Chain A
Amino acid sequence: MARVLVVEDDVQTAAEIAAALGDSGFDVDCAHTGREGLLKAGADTYEAIVLDRMLPGGVDGLTVLSTLRTVGVEAPVLILSALSAVDERVRGLRAGGDDYLTKPFEFLELTARIEVLVRRQAIPRRDTMLHVGDLEIDLLSREVRRAGRLVELLPREYHLLEYLMRQPNQVVTRTMLFEEVWGYHYDERTNVIDVHIGKLRRKLDEGGLPTLIYTVRSSGYVLRAAE
């Protein structure tokens, strides 16, 4: 079971995060100050760290992060912040963060991102073929086949599908797709991503095949083999 450290000064928020991650199958430890967070992260190994950007007591989130990186702790860190400015985000990532989430956030978003961070370490990226059920893509030739039939995709659709196939059976939120596939960072609130997913889904499911891309609680998608 993957272990996650949550460094968050607000006890109730920390408990909620721990509960949400616990529900997703993570083993969660909590720390409520930067100092405590440093000690725990340094003494133990975690697969991921959720780190609040602003912590009381002199040791704030970015200090914790850069200290951890200096002493060689490589666990992926997701920074939580009430500051949404782009330069805040850049500063967080530059200090060694792997992802950045602005408060308030949806717990689905948090758990989906943590899962991606944890899995990213576990799976080697050397594969040239990805398979989910009867769907396969060739990362080199960029060919997509469903049940042996070649599926024609636009470059953007291919990028979308590749990202989904790299996280099979995992929830991927709209925001994550938007950031990953289009490369812009803001909370896209329109339903345009749904339209893209809809098109992709239609192309993949052509010929009455069962769908592979499922919508999750109106805010994310999961790609999994049809039963």
Chain B
Amino acid sequence: MSSVRLSDLRRTTSFRLALLFLALFGAASLTLFGFLYWQTAGYLQSGTDEWLARELAGLVAASPSQLIEHLNEHAARDPEGDRPFALFDAAGHGVAGKVANLPTPSPSDRPFEFRLNRRGEAVTFRGLAHRLPSGDIVLVSQNVHEMHEFRELLIGAMAWGGLLVLIMGLAGAAVIGAGSVRRIDEVARAIERIVNGNLAERLPTRGTAGDLDRLVDVVNGMLDDIERLMHEVKGVSDGIAHDLRTPLTRLLAGLERAGRRAASVDEFAAAVDEAIVETKAVLSTFGAMLRISEVEDGARRTGFTTLDLAAIAADVRDFYEPLAEGKGVSFSLKDESGGSAKMAGDPSLLFEAIGNLVDNAIKFTPSGGRVTLRIIRANENLGVIVTDTGPGIPAEEREAVLRRFYRAERSRHTPGSGLGLSLVAAVARLHGLDLVIEDAKPGCRVTLRREGASSWPTLAAAVTQDTLPAALGR
């Protein structure tokens, strides 16, 4: 991936962050090194200064004759002249010792530095001078060349170390920045492919749960939703194509055939009747589609009134009872709402939705089976459960049956537009309910309830009560 350009690098967040940390780290190191240097150099210098003061005090305390003697003794012990002591007259000319002339600045009882020639080289000495009562000046000094060299070494080491840190830091920042540029490039290329129509493509993750990964996960989740919606839209268009084109084709074919061949009024009348049947089928599908969009629009909530869900369920029972009876299916209603089943809603829509579930349940339950309609309650929330002892809906089809126009394979031969459950789901959503399809073992249980709002205390108990006799009874 040599495609990372310097200008790109400079703009990346990680590179900038790395630089910022480098600067902060540099400042901290500089402070630390400065402190170390100040401490070390100060320690060395104060050691020298203490020694100078001690030696000077010894010399000052001696008498003039002893002083000369001390100086000569010292000179003998120091043939290299690294610690030269000297005595000067008041004018500053050397009287004894290894220093010819009094170096400036003049004596002030404070340590000072001066240079002397040693083997043709200027060498730095640190000295301390004192004016004796006689006017003569005594000087003690020490070669501090090594100390200075040590200090320079220290500074050099710090400078090189700093440079090394700088280079490594810059390189690290560049590597990290380049990594993030590459990462962004990968993601950008994936997005381009998606924009170009490959909706199955997902943004690459590294599985490191890093911040970019978290972002990518969110975007991938969004892409899943978009893909699902696109498939749904496509499913709807396919459904429209199938459910509207098929009857329209038959309509056209029938009319053309009548135009070509029909000879008598009766034949024409028969063709017209066929055409009317086909047109009604088209209108029915069309109407169902419009109703779903209308319900999904949510605009119908303006038509909400306070209704009694138990009363609606009783009406549904009344309405579908003969259908179940005719099929030899037992159909019962259980009101477990505990008296009050009042809620805000649209009675016609709820009747239609519950009726649709019951109708389906009766349709798919074989003779001798049972369909149960229950009104349940958890705190303030009401729900509806329709249980049957039919073949049930396989787990993998449960989501699909909610899609528009979806017809389970086994239901292809039964009448219906494939829009029923979509409408139920839309009505449920309008009332803040979720449609849940579960296995009732055997059979199918469809529940309309407010998901997650609260627990449904009656549910678990009711399920076992409900399924056991059903299982044993069959």
Is chain B found bound to chain A in the same assembly?
yes
A→B interface (CB under 8 Å): 84-87, 90, 104, 106, 156, 182-187, 189-190, 192, 195-196, 198-199
B→A interface (CB under 8 Å): 280, 283-284, 287, 290-291, 294, 299-300, 302-303, 315, 318-320, 322-323, 326, 346-349, 351-352, 359
A184 touches B351 (CB 8 A): yes
- List chain B residues, Cβ under 8 A from A182: 315, 318-319, 351
Q: Once bound together, how far apart are the Cα atoms of A192 and B323, in whole Å?
A: 6
Nearest Cβ distance between residue A43 and chain B, in whole angstroms? 36
- List chain B residues, Cβ under 8 A from A184: 315, 347-348, 351-352
Nearest Cβ distance between residue B83 and chain A, in whole angstroms? 110
Determine the main DSSP class of B at the interface with A. Answer: helix
Q: Which 10 A-B residue pairings sit nearest by Cβ, starting from the closest? A: A86-B303, A87-B303, A195-B322, A184-B348, A184-B351, A185-B348, A87-B302, A186-B352, A186-B348, A195-B323
Residue of B302, B319, B326 ringed by the most chain A CB atoms within 10 A: B319
A156 touches B346 (CB 8 A): no
Residue of A84, A183, A192, A198 ringed by the most chain B CB atoms within 10 A: A192
- List chain B residues, Cβ under 8 A from A185: 348
A85-B351 contact, Cβ under 8 Å, with A184-B315, A189-B284, A190-B359: no
- List chain A residues, Cβ under 8 A from B299: 85, 87
- List chain A residues, Cβ under 8 A from B287: 84, 187
Q: Considering only CB atoms, which chain B residue lies closest to A83 in the complex?
A: B294
A192 touches B303 (CB 8 A): no
B352 touches A156 (CB 8 A): no
Q: Once bound together, how far apart are the Cα atoms of A84 and B347, in whole Å?
A: 15
- List chain A residues, Cβ under 8 A from B284: 189
Q: Once bound together, how far apart are the Cα atoms of A187 and B302, in whole Å?
A: 20
A84-B290 contact, Cβ under 8 Å, with A189-B284, A192-B320, A195-B323: yes
Q: Once bound together, how far apart are the Cα atoms of A87 and B299, in whole Å?
A: 9
Q: Considering only CB atoms, which chain A residue lies closest to B295 in the complex?
A: A85
Known contacts A186-B349, A199-B322; 14 additional CB pairs below 8 A are A84-B294, A87-B299, A87-B300, A87-B303, A106-B280, A156-B318, A182-B319, A183-B315, A184-B348, A184-B351, A190-B359, A192-B319, A192-B320, A195-B326
- List chain B residues, Cβ under 8 A from A190: 359
Nearest Cβ distance between residue B421 and chain A, in whole angstroms? 14
